[in-house]
Structure 1
Amino acid sequence: MKHASIVVGRHKRNDIFKPGAGPNGGEFHLPYRLLRELFLEAGIELSTADMNIGHEVIFELHINARRRLPKCPAYAYLYEDPIIRPLNSEMAQLRRYRKVFTSNETLIDGKQILCLDYPNDLNLRRVPSFIERDLFCVMIASNKALLHPHPLSLHGNRIEIIRFFETQAPELFALYGKGWDIPAVGPGLTGRLIKRMNEWRACIAPSRPFPSYRGTVYSKSEVLDRAKFSICYENSRGSPGYLTEKIFDCFTSGCIPIYIGSTHRTALVPEDCYIDGDRFNSSAEMLHFLQSIDAVSHARYQAAIQRFLAGSDSARFTNAYFCQSLVNVVMADLRGKGESAPA
Structure 2
Amino acid sequence: MSSFHQLKQGLASLGFDLSTCDINTEENSRISLHFDVNSPVELKSPINYLILQESEVINPFGWSRDLHRKFDRVFTWNDELVDNVLYFKLNFSHKFPDKEKWERNIVSWEEKKLCTLISGNKMVKHKYELYSERVKAINWFQANTKICEFDFYGMGWDLPSFNNRYINHIIKRIPFYKVFVSKHERYRGSVENKNSVLRKYKFAICFENAKEIPGYITEKIFDCFFAGCVPIYYGAPNISSHIPKSCYVDFRDFSGYEELYQFIVNMPKETYLSYITSIEEYIYSARSLPFNSECFRDTIVGHIQSDFE
TM-score in terms of structure 1 length: 0.82
Which amino acid in the other structure matches residue 45 of structure 1? D
| Conserved 8 A contact 2:234-2:252 | yes
By how many angstroms is 1:264 displaced? 2.5
| Conserved 8 A contact 1:181-1:202 | no
- For structure 2, list consecutive stretches of 5 or more residues without a partner in the other structure: none
Which amino acid in the other structure matches residue 157 of structure 2? W
Which amino acid in the other structure matches residue 303 of structure 1? T
- The alignment status of 1:171 with 2:148, answered yes or no, reads yes
| Conserved 8 A contact 1:233-1:259 | yes
By how many angstroms is 1:202 displaced? 4.6
2:137 aligned residue? 161
The CA distance in 1 between the partners of 2:232 and 2:178, in whole Å, is 36
1:257 aligned residue? 231
Which amino acid in the other structure matches residue 172 of structure 1? E
Q: Secondary structure at the match of 2:18?
A: strand
Task: Write out aligned runs for 1:202-281 (5 A).
Answer: 202=176, 205=179, 207-264=181-238, 267-281=241-255
- The alignment status of 1:100 with 2:36, answered yes or no, reads no
Q: Secondary structure at the match of 1:47?
A: coil
By how many angstroms is 1:56 displaced? 2.4
The CA distance in 2 between the partners of 1:241 and 1:129, in whole Å, is 30
Go from structure 1 to structure 2 and tell me whether the alpha carbon gap of 1:131 and 1:108 turns closer, same or farther (over 3 Å shift).
closer
TM-score in terms of structure 2 length: 0.90
Deviations 1:247-279 (A, max 9, x none): 111111110000001122862111111001112
2:162 aligned residue? 186
2:265 aligned residue? 291
| Conserved 8 A contact 1:82-1:88 | yes
| Conserved 8 A contact 1:105-1:240 | yes
Moved more, 77-86 or 194-203: 194-203
The CA distance in 2 between the partners of 1:298 and 1:197, in whole Å, is 42
The CA distance in 1 between the partners of 2:264 and 2:176, in whole Å, is 34
Deviations 1:158-212 (A, max 9, x none): 00110112222232111111111112x232x3x6426633652555637552222
Deviations 1:65-84 (A, max 9, x none): 35213310211110011222
Moved more, 248-257 or 260-269: 260-269
| Conserved 8 A contact 1:256-1:274 | yes
Q: Secondary structure at the match of 1:229?
A: strand
| Conserved 8 A contact 2:116-2:152 | yes
Match of 1:137 among 93, 101, 115: 115
| Conserved 8 A contact 2:26-2:44 | no
Which amino acid in the other structure matches residue 214 of structure 1? R
For the aligned residues, what is the CA RMSD? 2.2
Sequence identity, in percent?
28
By how many angstroms is 1:133 displaced? 3.7
| Conserved 8 A contact 2:115-2:150 | yes
| Conserved 8 A contact 1:130-1:228 | no
Go from structure 1 to structure 2 and tell me whether the alpha carbon gap of 1:294 and 1:199 turns closer, same or farther (over 3 Å shift).
farther
Q: Secondary structure at the match of 1:50?
A: coil
By how many angstroms is 1:281 displaced? 1.5
- For structure 1, list consecutive stretches of 5 or more residues without a partner in the other structure: 1-28, 337-343
| Conserved 8 A contact 1:133-1:228 | no
Go from structure 1 to structure 2 and tell me whether the alpha carbon gap of 1:206 and 1:135 turns closer, same or farther (over 3 Å shift).
farther
The CA distance in 1 between the partners of 2:115 and 2:12, in whole Å, is 43
